[in-house]
Structure 1
Amino acid sequence: MNARPPLLRVLLGFSLLGAGIVNLGLVRGTFPAPAGVLALMLGAAETAAALPTLAGTAPRRASPTALGRLAVGSLVLASVAQAAFAVAPGATLGPAVTATAALQLAAAGAVGILTRSAPPGAATTTAQSVDVAPHPGRHSTASLGALFLGAVLISTVATFGLSGTEAAEHAVPHGQHHLPDIPGLHQHHP
């Protein structure tokens, strides 16, 4: 029995969620245009795909290999289409589109690894058939560390992407939230 944590699946879910959130952030400044419609559709699809991926549920009727190929192709095509829409008017790629493309390509790579199949007739050696673990805690510590580093990297890229959206321009910086000036409360402000 293999008790390894599903590291790639969780990182795939994080990548999809990060790309979906950045895409939804792009909608604010580009919606009526085709780039905004594409960002809305991709953001909704990526966010919707991230939730069952993180939960560990899989479609029951679809072939994992065929579904994986479709997902890889869709993610690569989406990143290329968004980049093309971004540079079509003569502009450069902004941080939001760059971050979205990076997260989409990372998700495509994770899907490719998770759904690859061995060539016919090839001998397969899985972690289930080789169950040698002299120090079981070492593997879980390494997996937890890899999960933490992957989550930090993905959240950093997503935050960078969100900072380049129009929605971020209207956000209130931390520490600047305050109560409105209400008569009688002037002496309570620090």
Structure 2
Amino acid sequence: MSALTHLTRTWPVFAALGAGLVQLAVGAGALGAQAWGNAVGALLIAGGAAALGWAVAALRTGRTPVPGAALAAALVLIAASGALVASGAASAIGVAVLPLLAADVFLLVVAFGATATIRAARRGAAVSGAGERGADAAGDREADASSSRGIRRSALSVTGMLAGAALVAALATPALAGTRAGDSAVPHGELHLPADQGHAH
């Protein structure tokens, strides 16, 4: 894999975590408005839970699970939310538009990651036979080089994880703040006390 691939290989996982959290918050904010809003909210919550589950499975296995299903689900959710926003129904049923679009950005990253995994698997299957025929002759010469490459790849992976986590946090934090759940949250550093306790001497 290229250096860029090692740097960004964990980004779809972090993006799935961001998408899941934002969709859960947006879906919860749509509940209780009206019947259609409840249906959309339930679908968003289901999609968010699925994204979180997929991300946890990817973290546990160290690979992209069911990339075909992940790609299809991401595209369906992006198309559905796009139609919801374009029709103007999102605002009518209490769906926060900007956080929903932020979740779409995360889902795009998941879709790109799933596509890259599918393409890599196809390329690997196509060249596996040719690679095995020349592996024994070049094995000794490649031992030292592969060790140094492994160290560089590990460093790139750690750097990519830190950068991916920072980018997701930078987008997910304001997106969550823009939902109804975010509006109800207590700001950091503040403590809400009952009126009688706040004025007591």
TM-score by length of 2: 0.70
Alpha-carbon contact 2:7-2:159 (below 8 Å) kept: no
SS at 2:186 equivalent: coil
**In the superposition, relative to structure 1, how do residues 17 and 57 fare at CA in structure 2: closer, same or farther (>3 Å)?**
same
Farther-moved stretch of structure 1 (175-184 vs 42-51): 175-184
Amino acid corresponding to residue 60 of structure 2 in structure 1 = A
Amino acid corresponding to residue 46 of structure 1 in structure 2 = A
Alpha-carbon contact 1:27-1:36 (below 8 Å) kept: yes
Amino acid corresponding to residue 42 of structure 1 in structure 2 = G
Alpha-carbon contact 1:15-1:103 (below 8 Å) kept: yes
**In the superposition, relative to structure 1, how do residues 169 and 178 fare at CA in structure 2: closer, same or farther (>3 Å)?**
closer
Matched, 1:157 2:162: no
Query: Which runs of 5 or more residues in structure 1 are unaligned?
Result: 1-5
**In the superposition, relative to structure 1, how do residues 16 and 91 fare at CA in structure 2: closer, same or farther (>3 Å)?**
closer
Alpha-carbon contact 2:186-2:192 (below 8 Å) kept: no
SS at 1:142 equivalent: helix
Identity of aligned residues (%): 28
Matched, 1:96 2:99: yes
Q: Who is 1:118 aligned against? A: 122
CA distance in 1, matches of 2:169, 2:199: 42
Q: Who is 1:3 aligned against? A: none
Q: Who is 1:87 aligned against? A: 86
Query: Which runs of 5 or more residues in structure 2 are unaligned?
Result: 1-5
- 1:87-128 CA-to-partner distances (Å, cap 9, x unmatched) read 322668832111100001101111221232335644677xx9
Alpha-carbon contact 1:10-1:53 (below 8 Å) kept: no
SS at 2:29 equivalent: helix
CA distance in 2, matches of 1:72, 1:20: 15
**In the superposition, relative to structure 1, how do residues 136 and 75 fare at CA in structure 2: closer, same or farther (>3 Å)?**
closer
RMSD of aligned alpha carbons: 3.4
Amino acid corresponding to residue 11 of structure 2 in structure 1 = L
SS at 1:52 equivalent: helix
User: Where is the helix percentage greater, Structure 1 or Structure 2?
Assistant: 2
- In the TM superposition, 1:177-188 aligns within 5 A as 177-180=191-194, 181-182=196-197, 186=201
Matched, 1:50 2:49: no
CA distance in 1, matches of 2:189, 2:148: 50
Q: Who is 2:26 aligned against? A: 26
CA distance in 2, matches of 1:73, 1:164: 27
- 1:61-111 CA-to-partner distances (Å, cap 9, x unmatched) read xxx7xx322220111111110121133226688321111000011011112
SS at 1:118 equivalent: helix
Matched, 1:41 2:41: no
Alpha-carbon contact 1:14-1:154 (below 8 Å) kept: yes
**In the superposition, relative to structure 1, how do residues 140 and 169 fare at CA in structure 2: closer, same or farther (>3 Å)?**
same
Q: 2:109 aligns with which of 103, 106, 110?
A: 106
